[in-house]
């Protein structure tokens, strides 16, 4: 099962290597990993999507905790969360497909960020399923290039 | 005024480093010089720190490791950049696997050359990432006091382990350094000491209700200085005790409750007891596959498991613990002891007694390894320290030597590093100059560190070397004998040198022993000899270590007795 872990780490050189190295040598599978500074510049936030059963995830979290530079580890899998991913998708267009593609982009609430004679580039945010669905729909038209940021996530606060 | 100021500034980064080490109580460094660490060696001329110069960097790190195991202090070693640093790798891994607190100092090329493949540059922090608890690359000499302080703190607290500090040459050479305050700045580092009160209560309850309890003690008991309270718990409850290889010495081996070592080469009684127990109280152990045969969840299936460990990641890693307790073995056992009600285990003992048996008597006329170890145990002082190499001789020593105290049996357990023994004897003898230090080694392992005979002479270390010379890589031969139909491959050490002559070339006395009747005299001669000495015991290549649980088999499916 896929788990979404949030790992708060000290913003030091070498931290990413330590975390990534741990996953590699203990044979854990990372599906995606994003890193960025947080509101506190001394702390970076990693969102790691990792595959594994509960025992594996428990080990991953404990091993991460042991790293001197790791501040906090949270498993968001069971939480209610807001999760987003950003994708840039470049697709082939011809004069007879342009309209249909633009309609699809619209349905998915994407935004065209670059348009050429033979292609256009779409920016899309949403959860992984939405992006998967968009890519599936657009692929038959000629998918040229795809970049995805990987998931970022935050728990919802009940107000 | 100007003079005053000079006192608070330090001439160089290297001098500041040594000053910081002195502030941590460091009295000795095991090291080997080279270009990148010239500033340290220059500054060493002006400090109180003693420096030991072995003949290989691997010895520096093994000796620092053994120094730490024996003294309970943090061991310190030092090597130059590049090959000096890479020569430390095996030793760092050895210390990491056995959770030994050491601080490893490596020279590095100047920061201006970092990353350019310059002469003698390696990314030692990168290379050692998986085998260090933490590491630093120092960029600013003013950080040295803080980093040294942090390194010692991290190495010695929680689950101990090696910490590496990589020191670029310009950082060491920088002059007029005004240090920043030496304050720990480790906001994310945490470790546990006291166990959870609810879990401790639960442990007390399951102990009381158990009928066939076994206490399984490991290196964590020794590291946490929990031997005394462990013995008290055992005496209150009358629970039988098995130990791991690392746990040897956690209880006196002649204590009536001690059944011996558990696992692949464990005793019959220990292995049966663990297999049949209904409660396994695991303290400072990590269910290594040398104990569990790699059975994981299928290990000790009849038992509830109380797992006490300082490292939360060890709990649940191999087996599921019914009562997990994260904390220092000492503090947790002390709290458990407070409310302890002894279980009723008389019947259990009756059963256990049927498993306790004398090892079958070998032919008294043959010079067997068991006879050597037994005689050594008879004649050595109670507080003698034994270090070992890795192989059959290690297991014979572990099975047969009567270790009375914690920190007195020093062996590479987790990594099983051949070549550890002589360097470890050096570190042990330096940590305990007034104690007898015996090295039990094999002819394969010994030759991985044989050059260190020179260090024993240079440093006046009267270590007594018990060489079990079988002319083969015995442990590998044993595996080929038992599991590969005697198809022996690359285990012959046919052209071994005459070890007596080798010893003599280093200025060390050597005695060859070929008969059982000579054992006692040779050992007495060794003990009475003031300096280092080598006893070359010629034993058969066909000896096997028994009992043996074949890999993947249950503990009770032992070959031999
Ligand atoms: C550095 C290293 N290389 C290889 C091994 C694999 N190994 C384990 S025991 C052994 C044989 C050891 O021979 P020796 O030191 O003569 O001891 P004996 O088993 O004969 O007592 C070997 C090669 C090891 N443990 N360490």
**Between chains, do A62 and B312 touch, taking CB under 8 Å as contact?**
yes
DSSP B110: -
Q: What is the pLDDT of residue B458?
A: 98
DSSP state of B8: H
- Among B219, B155, B156, smallest CA distance to B415 is for B219
In A11-142, the DSSP E strands lie at: 29-37, 43-51, 70-75, 81-92, 111-115, 119-126
Cβ A77 vs Cβ A4: under 8 Å: yes
Q: From B310, which residue of chain A is nearest by alpha-carbon distance?
A: A66
Cα four-point dihedral sign A137, A139, A141, A146: positive
Q: How far apart are CA B125 and CA B163, in angstroms?
A: 10
Q: Which atom of ligand 1 is nearest to the CA of B369?
A: 21
Has residue A124 got a pLDDT over 80? yes
Number of helical (H) and strand (E) elements in chain A, helices listed first: 4, 9
Q: Give residue B6's pLDDT.
A: 45
- Virtual torsion, Cα B451, B457, B459, B462, nearest 10 deg: 110
Report the distance separating Cα B475 and Cα B479, nearest Å: 6
Write down the pTM of the prediction.
0.95
- Reported confidence tier of residue A136, pLDDT bands at 50, 70, 90: very high
| Domains of chain B: residue spans and CATH | 10-177 (3.40.50.970), 197-356 (3.40.50.1220), 369-538 (3.40.50.970)
- Please tell me the distance from the alpha carbon of residue B152 to that of residue B143, in angstroms, as a whole number: 14
**Measured between CB atoms, does A46 come within 8 Å of chain B?**
no
CA distance B147 to chain A (A): 13
CA gap B284, B287 in Å, rounded = 10
d(CA B308, CA B454): 43
Interface test with A, best of B296, B313, B315 (most A CBs within 10 A): B313
pLDDT at B1: 41
From CA B509, how far away is CA B531, in angstroms rounded?
A: 8
- A5 phi/psi in degrees, rounded to 5: -105, 140
Q: Any bridge partners for residue B184, and if so which?
A: none
DSSP string, B425-448: HHHHHHH-TTS-EEEEEEHHHHTT
CA atoms within 13 A on the CB side of B331: 13
**Rounded Cα gap, residues A120 and A107, in angstroms:** 16
Name, in order, each residue with C-beta under 8 angstroms of B306's C-beta and a sequence gap of 6 or more: B203, B206, B207, B279, B280, B281, B282, B321, B322, B323, B325
Atom 20 of ligand 1, nearest CA residue: B474
Structure ipTM: 0.88
Q: Would the CB atoms of B317 and A17 count as touching at under 8 Å?
A: no
- N residues, chain B: 561
> What would the two tokens of residue B426 be?
């050096």
Q: Structure tokens of B239?
A: 């629970």
Mean confidence (pLDDT) of chain A: 93
A9, closest residue in chain B (CA to CA): B188
Sketch out chain A's domains with CATH numbers. Answer: 2-75 (3.30.70.260), 83-155 (3.30.70.1150)
Task: Give A22's contacts (C-beta < 8 A, 6+ positions apart).
Answer: A28, A63, A64, A67
Per-residue pLDDT tens, chain B, 561 aa: give them: 444 444 455 589 999 999 999 999 999 999 999 999 999 999 999 999 999 999 999 999 999 999 999 999 999 999 999 999 999 999 999 999 999 999 999 999 999 999 999 999 999 999 999 999 999 999 999 999 999 999 999 999 999 999 999 999 999 999 999 999 999 999 999 999 999 999 999 999 999 999 999 999 999 999 999 999 999 999 999 999 999 999 999 999 999 999 999 999 999 999 999 999 999 999 999 999 999 988 887 788 889 999 999 999 999 999 999 999 999 999 999 999 999 999 999 999 999 999 997 777 778 899 999 999 999 999 999 999 999 999 999 999 999 999 999 999 999 999 999 999 999 999 999 999 999 999 999 999 999 999 999 999 999 999 999 999 999 999 999 999 999 999 999 999 989 999 999 999 999 999 999 999 999 999 999 999 999 999 999 999 999 999 999 988 999 999 998
Q: Pick the catalytic residue: B73, B120, B225, B481?
A: B120
CA B94 to CA B106: how far, in whole Å? Answer: 17
Closest CA to B465 of B537, B405, B409: B537
Pocket, ligand 1, Cβ cutoff 6 A: B 389-393, 416-419, 442-445, 468, 470, 472-476
Sign, CA torsion B105/B110/B112/B118: negative
Contacting residues of A for B316, CB less than 8 Å apart? 55, 58-59, 62
Distance CA B278, CA B242 (A): 15
B169 catalytic? Reply is: yes
Q: Quick: pLDDT tens for A78-113.
A: 888 999 999 999 999 999 999 999 999 999 999 999
DSSP assigned state of B549: -
Round to whole Å and give the CA distance between B139 and B125. Answer: 13
- Residue B492, classed as helix, strand or coil, is strand
Alpha helix stretches (DSSP H) within B277-320: 289-292
What would the two tokens of residue B531 be?
Answer: 């300096």
**Model pLDDT, residue B9:** 53
Across the beta sheet with B464-469, the strand order is: B409-410, B385-388, B437-442, B464-469, B533-538, B509-513
Please give the helix or strand (H or E) that residue B10 lies within, else none.
strand B10-12
Q: Sign (positive/negative) of CA torsion B317, B323, B326, B331? A: negative
In the prediction, which pLDDT does A159 show? 56
Catalytic residue list contains B548: no
Query: How far is Cα B448 from Cα B91, in angstroms, rounded to an integer?
Result: 13
Q: By the CB < 8 Å criterion, does A63 face chain B? A: yes
What strands, in cross-sheet order, belong to the sheet with B102-108?
A: B50-52, B28-31, B75-79, B102-108, B163-168, B134-137
Token pair belonging to B406: 């914690």
Q: Which of B528, B409, B402, B408 is nearest to B462 (CA)?
A: B528
Strand, helix or coil at B416?
coil
Q: How far is the CA of B485 from the centre of ligand 1 (A)?
A: 20
Mutate to test the interface with B, among A26, A41, A64, A68 (most CBs of B within 10 A): A68
CA of B448 to the centre of ligand 1 (A): 10
Q: Which two tokens stand for residue B248?
A: 């040897």
């Amino acid at each position: 099962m896929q788990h979404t872990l949030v790992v708060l780490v000290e913003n030091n050189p070498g931290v990413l290597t330590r975390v990534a190295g741990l996953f590699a040598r203990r044979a854990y599978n990372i599906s995606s990993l994003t890193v960025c500074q947080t509101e506190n510049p001394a702390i970076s936030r990693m969102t790691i999507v990792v595959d594994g059963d509960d025992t594996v995830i428990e080990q991953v979290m404990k091993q991460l905790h042991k790293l001197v530079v790791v501040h906090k580890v949270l498993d968001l899998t069971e939480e209610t969360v807001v999760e987003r991913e950003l994708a840039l998708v470049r697709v082939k267009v011809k004069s007879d497909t342009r309209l249909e593609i633009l309609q699809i982009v619209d349905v998915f609430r994407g935004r065209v960020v670059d348009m050429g004679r033979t292609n256009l580039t779409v920016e899309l945010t949403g959860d992984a399923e939405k992006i998967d669905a968009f890519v599936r729909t657009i692929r038959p038209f000629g998918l040229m290039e795809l970049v995805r940021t990987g998931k970022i996530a935050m728990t919802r606060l009940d107000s | 005024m100007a003079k005053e100021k000079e006192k608070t500034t330090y001439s160089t980064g290297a001098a500041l480093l040594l000053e910081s080490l002195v502030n941590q109580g460091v009295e000795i460094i095991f090291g080997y010089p080279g270009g990148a660490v010239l500033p340290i060696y220059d500054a060493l001329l002006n400090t109180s720190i003693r420096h030991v110069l072995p003949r290989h960097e691997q010895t520096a790190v093994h000796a620092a490791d053994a120094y730490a195991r024996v003294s309970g202090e943090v061991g310190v070693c030092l090597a130059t950049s590049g090959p000096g640093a890479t020569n430390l790798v095996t030793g760092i891994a050895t210390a990491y696997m056995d959770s030994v607190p050491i601080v490893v100092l490596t020279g590095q090329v100047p920061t201006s050359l970092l990353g350019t493949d310059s002469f003698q540059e390696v990314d030692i922090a990168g290379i050692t990432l998986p085998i260090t608890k933490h590491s630093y690359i120092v960029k600013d000499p003013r950080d040295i006091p803080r980093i040294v302080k942090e390194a010692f703190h991290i190495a010695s607290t929680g689950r101990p382990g090696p910490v590496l500090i990589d020191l670029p040459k310009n950082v060491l050479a920088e002059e007029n350094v005004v240090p920043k305050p030496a304050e720990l700045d480790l906001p994310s580092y945490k470790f546990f000491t006291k166990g959870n009160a609810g879990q401790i209560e639960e442990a007390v309850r399951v102990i009381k209700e158990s009928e066939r309890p076994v206490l399984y003690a490991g290196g964590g008991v020794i590291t946490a200085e929990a031997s005394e309270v462990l013995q008290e718990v055992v005496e209150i409850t009358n629970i039988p005790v098995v130990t791991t290889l690392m746990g040897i010495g956690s209880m006196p081996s002649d204590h009536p409750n001690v059944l011996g070592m558990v696992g692949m080469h464990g005793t019959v009684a220990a292995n049966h007891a663990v297999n049949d127990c209904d409660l396994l109280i695991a303290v400072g152990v990590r269910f290594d596959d040398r104990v569990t045969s790699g059975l994981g969840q299928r290990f000790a299936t009849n038992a509830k498991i109380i797992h006490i460990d300082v490292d939360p990641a060890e709990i649940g890693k191999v087996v599921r613990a019914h009562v997990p307790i994260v904390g220092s073995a000492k503090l947790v056992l002390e709290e458990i002891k407070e409310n302890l009600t002894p279980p009723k285990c008389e019947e259990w003992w009756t059963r256990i007694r049927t498993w306790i048996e004398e090892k079958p008597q070998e032919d008294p006329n043959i010079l067997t390894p068991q006879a050597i170890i037994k005689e050594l145990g008879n004649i050595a002082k109670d507080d003698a320290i034994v270090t070992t190499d890795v192989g059959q001789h290690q297991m014979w020593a572990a099975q047969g030597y009567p270790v009375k105290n914690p920190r007195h049996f020093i062996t590479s357990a987790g990594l099983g590093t051949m070549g550890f023994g002589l360097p470890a004897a050096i570190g042990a003898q330096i940590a305990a100059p007034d104690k007898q230090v015996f090295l039990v080694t094999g002819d394969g392992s010994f030759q991985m560190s044989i050059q260190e005979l020179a260090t024993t002479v240079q440093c006046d270390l009267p270590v007594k070397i018990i060489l079990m010379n079988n002319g083969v890589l015995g442990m590998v031969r044993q595996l080929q004998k038992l599991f590969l139909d005697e198809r022996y491959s690359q285990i012959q050490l046919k052209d071994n040198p005459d070890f007596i002559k080798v010893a003599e070339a280093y200025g060390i006395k050597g005695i060859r022993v070929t008969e059982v009747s000579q054992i006692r005299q040779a050992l007495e001669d060794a003990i009475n000899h003031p300096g280092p000495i080598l006893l070359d015991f010629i034993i058969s290549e066909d000896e096997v270590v028994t009992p043996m649980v074949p890999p993947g088999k249950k503990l009770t499916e032992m070959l031999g007795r």
